[in-house]
Structure 1
Amino acid sequence: MSKMPITFLLKLVQIVGGLVAIAYLSACIYLVFWQNRFIFFPSSIIEITPAGLASFEDVWLPVLGSSGKVERIHGWWIPGEGKQTVLYLHGNGINIGANVNHAMRFHQLGFSVLLIDYRGYGRSEGDFPTEASVYRDAETAWHYLTGERQISAKDIFIYGHSLGGAIAIDLAAKHPEAAGLIVESSFTSMRNMVNERPVFQLFPADIILHQRFDSISKVRSLKMPVLFIHGMLDTEIPYGMSKMLFAAAPSPKRLFLVPDAGHNNVASIAGVEYLQTVQNFVRLATHSINK
């Protein structure tokens, strides 16, 4: 009689252990195929446009999808007073509508601005985004500016916020002829971001992670001036990651840390100092080009 409960408990432990192992393996498989669902958070609803703030036009840029079908990227072209242009690459949430107010800061400084939505965001066509697809979308926007708009590469500044910073770094590494790069509130790599999320540390990230966004490796090959910006109260991405990116990047480079700012409010907290920092960086980059 006394053996039956022990045998039962052993079988129960085996069953529970088996179920846990199956659940863990299933979670790993899910993360292999669907990890981009934990990285990108697009919305199709655009709540704010530049209407009433500046003249602008809708642009539709064709790009070849993975299925071989031509898909269209939607964006806004906001012409500025000067010849210099900002290619604006937003972060992983919502769409270009959430970035209008910040884009207008660059417009205020005299820049023309091109904002694009990656495929799967806003009014852009295509499936749910991946690392490879957003890189292609940024490349498409670059060729639109240099091709259809006939803007010289030495007049284009690439700007990226958060995940958009990783996309901007990738694009800048491919186009050293650009005037400069501005990376705000971004990270060193997706692998390092996993370390900031305890729940994902339960999984073998080095094996299953393929959406890598390995900025820390790419910044070493940059051939243009770069400005890193970060809020020191950022709870999404530690500002220490911008310090590491800055340390790895070649000169000329600048680092602007804002003590009381979080992830999305650096410009509003820094105020005039933010605008002055960007202006000073543009002067630095322009001087570097004209040397």
Structure 2
Amino acid sequence: MKKIIMTFVLTAVLAVSGCVLAAGYQIGNYLVEFGLMRGSSDDPMAPPRAYALLMPPGTWNYTRPDAESEEWVLESDDGLRLVATHFYPEQRAGNWAIVVHGYGCTQENSYYTAQAYLAMGYDVLTPDLRSSGKSQGTFVTMGLEESKDVVHWARRIAETQKDARIVLHGVSMGAATVMMASARDDLPSAVVATVEDCGYTSAYDLLAYQMERSFSLPAFPGMNLLDWRCERRAGFSLHQAAPIVAVSHARVPMLFIHGTKDTLVPPVMAEELYAACTTEKQLLLVPDAIHSAASQQDHDRYYKIVTDFLRGKVYE
């Protein structure tokens, strides 16, 4: 009798465990596809579906700079075709800015910042990050693989112009991307500074925060399932996309900027990043600015701080 009962209990436990595992598998896959996978049945180039809930499409699109331009193409380490636009200033001085867009966006979202750097006499490169815009890719990696691609763009500039001085300027996920790029060993010496605007401490911490705040879902076990399937489907762990670790090894000076009314990436993350940074650094908190809108909230002060921070690091 005892053997029968034990067999029944063991079978029930295994059945329940199998159901839980299967459910977790499906939930994790859904979260990866919802939050990180590009494309839809109607538009294979569309951003991940979560983007429309966090930031409605078209919110941050800007007018293309009225400047001479050309398309650049690069192949990533894993064989993706990456596309960027090189904008020429009226007078070239040897300074370059790589302006990096955020999650779910394209290089069009970099045009506002690009125009400001063009006005300062910089050549500007606006990449479509992998899995965005014209660039190939299936999954957004929250800045991890994107940071490698940005380093390759910087190396391309350094090869094109031997005396170039390059500034990396990223917004939101683009900020996470340039922070992680700034700590890479293969960063070319031509990169002289990084400006990060409203970046997060880590992809895991950000998504856990947003899972609870925006989607009313518990971070546990949702984040565990997401990260489990993310490693299998997209080939990386969300814990790896950790600018908070990168800034402690940054190879160039870093300017941190954040809006005080940012509800997507809480301002406290900027303070944590600033505290962790071990290179020359500065922190600018812009009063009343929402996510990725600090430069519009106070354009003149924003770019005065940027210009002052870059003084002595680029050609004047």
Q: 2:194 — aligned with what?
A: 181
Structure 1's 104 and 56: CA in aligned 2 closer, same or farther, altered over 3 A? Answer: same
Q: CA RMSD in A?
A: 3.2
Give a deviation string over 1:149-170, Cα, whole Å, max 9, x none: 22446x1111111111111011
Percent identity, aligned pairs only, is 22
Match of 1:190 in 2: 203
Measured in 2, the distance between the counterparts of 1:50 and 1:187 equals: 27
The one-letter amino acid paired with 1:96 is: Q
Report matched runs for 1:119-198 at 5 Å. Answer: 119-130=130-141, 132-147=144-159, 149-152=160-163, 155-174=165-184, 175=187, 177=189, 178-197=191-210, 198=212
1:94 aligns to what SS in structure 2?
Answer: coil
What's the TM-score once normalised by structure 2's chain length?
0.74
Corresponding residue for residue 35 of structure 2: 38
Residues 256-275 of structure 1: CA deviation (Å, up to 9, x unaligned): 11011001211111121011
2:112 to 80, 92, 101: 101
Does the CA-based 8 Å contact 1:176-1:222 persist in structure 2?
no
Q: Which residue of 2 aligns with 1:26?
A: 25
SS in 1 for 2:97: strand
Letter in structure 1 aligned against 2:74: L
Instruction: Name the CA distance, whole Å, in 2 between partners of 1:270 and 1:108.
Output: 17
Say which SS state the counterpart of residue 130 (structure 1) adopts.
coil
Give the aligned residue type for 2:117: F
Residues 39 and 92, structure 1, Cα contact 8 Å, conserved in 2: no
Change (3 A) 1:200 1:88: farther
List per-residue Cα deviations over 1:198-232 (Å, max 9, x = no partner).
12503264663613311111101113211000000
Separation in 1, partners of 2:128, 2:244: 24
2:220 aligns with one of 183, 186, 202: 202
Q: Which runs of 5 or more residues in structure 2 are unaligned?
A: 1-12, 39-44, 48-56, 231-236
TM-score by length of 1: 0.79
Do 2:250 and 2:279's aligned partners in 1 also have CA atoms closer than 8 Å? no
Alignment deviations for residues 149-192 of structure 1 (CA, whole Å, 9 cap, x no partner): 22446x11111111111110111111273210100001111122
* Contact residue 43 and residue 94 of structure 1 kept, 8 A: no
Instruction: Tell me by how many angstroms 1:49 deviates.
Output: 6.1
| 8 A Cα contact 1:50 1:56, kept in partner | no
2:64 maps to 50
Cα deviation for residue 96 of structure 1 reads: 0.7
Cα shift at 1:21: 3.4
2:102 match: secondary structure: coil
- C-alpha contact 2:37 2:138 (8 A) present in aligned 1: no
Matched residues in 2 for 1:43 and 1:280: separation?
A: 38
- Return the letter of the residue paired with 1:161: V
Q: Distance in 2 between matches of 1:141 and 1:36?
A: 28
- Taking the aligned partners of 1:201 and 1:48, their CA distance within structure 2 comes to 34
